[in-house]
Structure 1
Amino acid sequence: MSSFSYKQTVPSDWVDYNGHMNDAEYNRAFSLATDAFIDYIGLDEKGREQFQYTVFTLETHTCYLKEMHEGAGFDMSARVLDFDAKRIHLFLEMHNAEGEVVATIEEMLMGINQNEGRPAPLPEEVAANVKAAFDSTSDREQPKQVGRTIGIRRK
């Protein structure tokens, strides 16, 4: 498997009254990239139909690090931080044209049997792709945004 990448440009309707990409649009971009990642691991339209299987998002945490403006290109990388039979702990980074990380999202995804509408183990072929994605980055240091909580720090 080649490494995952998702590329996009900030459209004008993603820009808010502050002149930069709106927070909801970062999440839209991450959602589109997550869908592309799900396709990448073998659950594209054909895979979903073949396996009668899909993936739901259970939880997300987004960090906004730098502004993006209309027309700016970006690319996203994805990293499987952990997985089990039914779940994928996924981390995506959005990079600007200079290669700087401008936003991140941490997600927990759950595999769903479409016939039963319930959580179910990943199909073998998909699980193997998830493991390969995990193995390709498992030796890297954990990103500092992983596992963060929201709160006001008190001195």
Structure 2
Amino acid sequence: MKSSFRFTKSVPSEWVDYNGHMNDAEYSRAFSLATDAFIEHIGLNEDARNHWMYTIFTLETHTCYLKEMKEGQALEISAHVLDYDTKRIHLFFSMKNETGDLVATLEEMLMGIDQNEGRGAPFPPPVAKTITKVYQEQAGQEQPKQAGRTIGIRKK
């Protein structure tokens, strides 16, 4: 299995708002689609979810909008596993446009869920192994500057 992850899409017309660029809710949709693809990438496709009765829920997100995306523009989303434990993944997505400019980021916390119990539970062993592999391969990467940000108005 290739551990690097990329999700690609072009901005459809229905994602464009009255300002002529991708609506903020559609950035969330693109990141949500990328999250689903990442979950499959680590081994939790539909068959695996049904076999283990296991899924992943999003607990928290933080989005930074950096540049506009226009209709028809290609976007690419990559994933960086910032941290993980037995049942959670601290994940960071970077969205770039077709020229490689960073246009948005999403930081999120995901939790593995035992569907029989309806609560958090450790990842199935093959999934845990894949998460560990991805994390270890990315360990030398620089921490994204948007990671760990909080919202607030700086007082002068």
TM-score, length-scaled by structure 2:
0.98
Q: Distance in 1 between matches of 2:48 and 2:79?
A: 20
Q: Distance in 2 between matches of 1:78 and 1:132?
A: 13
Give per-residue Cα distances to partners, 1:74-101, cap 9 Å, x unaligned. Answer: 1110011000001000000001000111
Structure 1: runs of 5 or more not aligned: none
Root-mean-square deviation (CA, aligned residues, Å) is 0.6
* Alignment-derived partner of residue 100 in structure 1: 101
* Alignment-derived partner of residue 18 in structure 1: 19
After the TM superposition, which parts of structure 1 deviate over 2 Å for at least 4 consecutive aligned residues?
A: none
* Alignment-derived partner of residue 145 in structure 2: 144
Residue identity in the other structure for 1:31:
S
* Alignment-derived partner of residue 8 in structure 1: 9
Q: Distance in 1 between matches of 2:77 and 2:60?
A: 19
* Alignment-derived partner of residue 135 in structure 1: 136
Pairwise CA distance, 1:138: 1.1
Q: Distance in 1 between matches of 2:136 and 2:85?
A: 13
Residue identity in the other structure for 2:130:
N
SS in 1 for 2:71: coil
Aligned pairs for 1:5-154 (under 5 A) are 5-154=6-155
Q: Distance in 2 between matches of 1:125 and 1:6?
A: 22
Q: Distance in 2 between matches of 1:112 and 1:15?
A: 34
Q: Distance in 2 between matches of 1:140 and 1:92?
A: 14
Structure 2: runs of 5 or more not aligned: none
Q: Distance in 2 between matches of 1:136 and 1:101?
A: 22
Residue identity in the other structure for 1:147:
G
Q: Distance in 1 between matches of 2:37 and 2:134?
A: 14
TM-score, length-scaled by structure 1:
0.98
Q: Distance in 2 between matches of 1:42 and 1:61?
A: 25
Q: Distance in 1 between matches of 2:101 and 2:125?
A: 36
Pairwise CA distance, 1:133: 0.9
Q: Distance in 1 between matches of 2:80 and 2:100?
A: 17
